[in-house]
Amino acid sequence: MKPDEPFTLEVLQSEATLSRYDNHIVRTLSSMKGQYADQAAYDAMLAEQDTVLYEVYEVRRPEVPGELLHGLSVVHPGKVGDEYFMTKGHFHTVLETAEVYYCLRGRGVMVMETPEGDWAIEELHPGRVLYVPPRWAHRSVNTSLDEPLLTFFVYPGNSGHDYGTIEQQGFRKLVLCREDQTVYIDNPNWSPPGKGHAD
């Protein structure tokens, strides 16, 4: 079989070059039901408008171990109650697969945790590379209220995405804006791995 040809991509230029990506995913508020701590703020915001929270631009490659899936993640600025806009977050279905994130623009954090309940939060700013090791669930949070958080990501083709575990148990830590400061607090609704949801 003839091997694929090498190819290049302008990761970030104009709206026009973004159209070079193969796939564009748009996640709005309605897709994050139950993920924000302040349910009343969530409901009120959704009643106004199904706001776009984040977008993902993917280069489509075969989902097999030797391939690398890559693309651009854009988390828009904003809050639901005190909680910054963020991605759903997920474990990789193949838990032993890692991921690299390279921050291109904006300010943010990556909230991470393992199935055993260990947690970590790393700051993202332009020029910083974050290595998410195998086993760590990950969620990007935009901690700037003025500009989008742009990251480039790369992960193995066979990783897959397990969203259900996080939808059920949440992340252990929440990233909030309190009196203009970014604070990390314990998620009161977090249920320990394997214990199901708190309510």
Residue closer to ligand PAN by CB (options 128, 161) is 161
Residue closer to Zn ion by CB (options 36, 91) is 91
Closest distance to ligand PAN from the beta carbon of 72 (Å): 9
Which one of ligand PAN, Zn ion, none interacts with residue 125, CB within 5 to 8 A by kind? Answer: none
**CA distance linking residue 37 with residue 166, whole number of Å:** 14
**What's the 3-state SS for the chain?**
CCCCCCCCCCCCCCHHHHCCCCEEEEEEHHHHCCCCCCHHHHHHHHHHCCCEEEEEEEECCCCCCCCEEEEEEEECCCEECCEECECCCEEECCCCCCEEEEEEECCEEEEEECCCCCEEEEEECCCCEEEECCCCEEEEEECCCCCCEEEEEEEECCCCEECHHHHHHCCCEEEEEECCEEEEEECCCCCCCCCCCCC
Residue closer to Zn ion by CB (options 79, 135) is 135
Closest distance to ligand PAN from the beta carbon of 25 (Å): 7
Closest distance to ligand PAN from the beta carbon of 27 (Å): 6
Residue closer to ligand PAN by CB (options 18, 56) is 56
Which one of Zn ion, ligand PAN, none interacts with residue 197, CB within 5 to 8 A by kind? Answer: none
Query: How many CB atoms lie under 10 A from the CB of residue 152?
Result: 18
Residue closer to ligand PAN by CB (options 31, 191) is 31
Give the footprint of ligand PAN on this chain (CB under 6 A): 56, 73, 87-90, 99, 138, 140, 153, 155, 159, 161
Give the footprint of Zn ion on this chain (CB under 5 A): 99
Which one of ligand PAN, Zn ion, none interacts with residue 173, CB within 5 to 8 A by kind? Answer: none
Closest distance to Zn ion from the beta carbon of 92 (Å): 6
